[in-house]
Amino acid sequence: MAHPVGQAGIGVGTWAWGNQFLWGYDPSQDPVLEATFQRAVACGLHTFDTADSYGTGRFNGRSEALLGRFAAALPAAQRDQLLVATKLAPFPWRLGRRGYDRAFAASKRRLAGRIDLVQLHWSTARYAPWQEDPLLEGLADLVQQGEVAALGVSNMGPRRLRAVHRRLAERGVPPSSLQVQLSLLAPNPVQPGGVAEVCRELGIRLIAYSPLALGLLARSMADGPLPRGPRGALFRRLAPALVELQAEMARIAASRDASLAAVALNWCRAHGALPIPGLRRPEQVEQAAAALAWNLSEEERRRLDDLALGLDVGMPANPFQSD
């Protein structure tokens, strides 16, 4: 795998702050989510990632709305330090250069007026290739109009990222970030020829989503009952193959008096990516923030790379990931 390019920070993912199907969200969790948010800010985790599709039906836009509410309650000096990133879904009815206008305005309202980075949530290149470029042009318009500081993309591979970068750079609004699934159970982006190389070459910030493999990398099988539903089924399927990897992670964690989560996050950082773990309890924030106090050695990173690449199982790829 490619060598690291310096160490990045750690952000906070908020998919679970509104999603019922996978994460079992319900509004009784809101006080703990607010405490989680406040702990993150206090620990220096200032980058928050949300999306307009995190929360659907009666919880439509819930993750953005909670984040907006929590951020608005901060003292102004702390609020100014936040970096709020949202993602707009390229739903089939969002068409043309103005196709995101209403969605962007709605997200901005829910986020109490604050969006620093707006991202195309996934690439439509594989199933509706005509849809994506006009939507990106519209996001570039928003940057040029001063509505938002930067635009990013998500779920793109090397070929598509280069094409999008070329087109938007011509307009003077190159994408500032790419968000992809990246973890020890989804290491492809940092393999030779992977999209991390393109990001380095083009100066695009690489953001690692699901860096804990939905939590599997942050727990040992002795850690009590598996989560219910599809996460539990996935953990049950993958866990038997992870014995060696988890033993090595546990060894590194013990040597640093750190958590397994911290090892998984620092592996992303060692590859130059900004991990955005999903956090929904204050103690999870503390374990993530503690990872910033140390780095993997080259030797540790290489050993983890080898173990990750030697696995014959991995996280399911996002079906909307382009090549």
Ligand X SMILES: NC(=O)c1ccc[n+]([C@@H]2O[C@H](COP(=O)([O-])OP(=O)(O)OC[C@H]3O[C@@H](n4cnc5c(N)ncnc54)[C@H](OP(=O)(O)O)[C@@H]3O)[C@@H](O)[C@H]2O)c1
Residues that bind ligand X (CB under 6 A): 13-16, 49, 87, 121-122, 154-155, 179, 209-215, 218-219, 227, 259, 261, 276-280, 284, 287, 318
Catalytic residue among 25, 54, 100, 209: 54
- Beta strands (DSSP E) in 47-109 are 47-49, 83-88
| Residues 46/81, Cβ–Cβ less than 8 Å | yes
Query: Is-catalytic flag, 100?
Result: no
Q: Which is nearer to ligand X, 143 or 274 (CB)?
A: 274
What SS3 state is found at 177? strand
DSSP letters, 96-121, are STTTTHHHHHHHHHHTTT--SEEEE-
Q: Which is nearer to ligand X, 272 or 275 (CB)?
A: 275
What SS3 state is found at 49? strand
d(CA 263, CA 294): 10
- Beta carbon of residue 146, minimum distance to ligand X (angstroms, whole number): 25
- Beta carbon of residue 11, minimum distance to ligand X (angstroms, whole number): 8
Instruction: Give the Cβ contact number of residue 33 at 10 Å.
Output: 24
| Residues 89/51, Cβ–Cβ less than 8 Å | yes
Q: Which is nearer to ligand X, 70 or 209 (CB)?
A: 209
Paired with 152 in beta bridges are 119, 177
Q: Which is nearer to ligand X, 134 or 282 (CB)?
A: 282
- Beta carbon of residue 283, minimum distance to ligand X (angstroms, whole number): 7
- Beta carbon of residue 76, minimum distance to ligand X (angstroms, whole number): 25
Find how far residue 322's CA is from the centre of its chain: 17
- Catalytic site positions: 54
